[in-house]
Amino acid sequence: MWYTETNDRVAQIVSCEGYEEDFLKEMGFKDRNSCVDLNVSLHKQYTDDCINLIRSSSDMDYNLKLLDLCVYHSFEKQAVSLSSEYVIYKRNKRDTAK
Predicted pLDDT at 58: 78
Provide the H-helix boundaries in the chain: 6-14, 21-26, 32-53, 60-97
CB 29 within 8 A of CB 22: no
Query: What's the pLDDT tens digit per position in 57-85?
Result: 778 888 888 899 999 999 988 888 888 99
What's the mean pLDDT in 30-40? 94
Query: What's the pLDDT tens digit per position in 39-48?
Result: 999 999 999 9
Query: What's the pLDDT tens digit per position in 9-29?
Result: 889 889 998 899 999 999 999
For residues 1 and 23, the model is more confident at 23
Q: What angle do CA 40, 46, 50 make, to 5 degrees?
A: 150
CB 19 within 8 A of CB 44: no
How many whole angstroms separate alpha carbon 17 and alpha carbon 6? 15
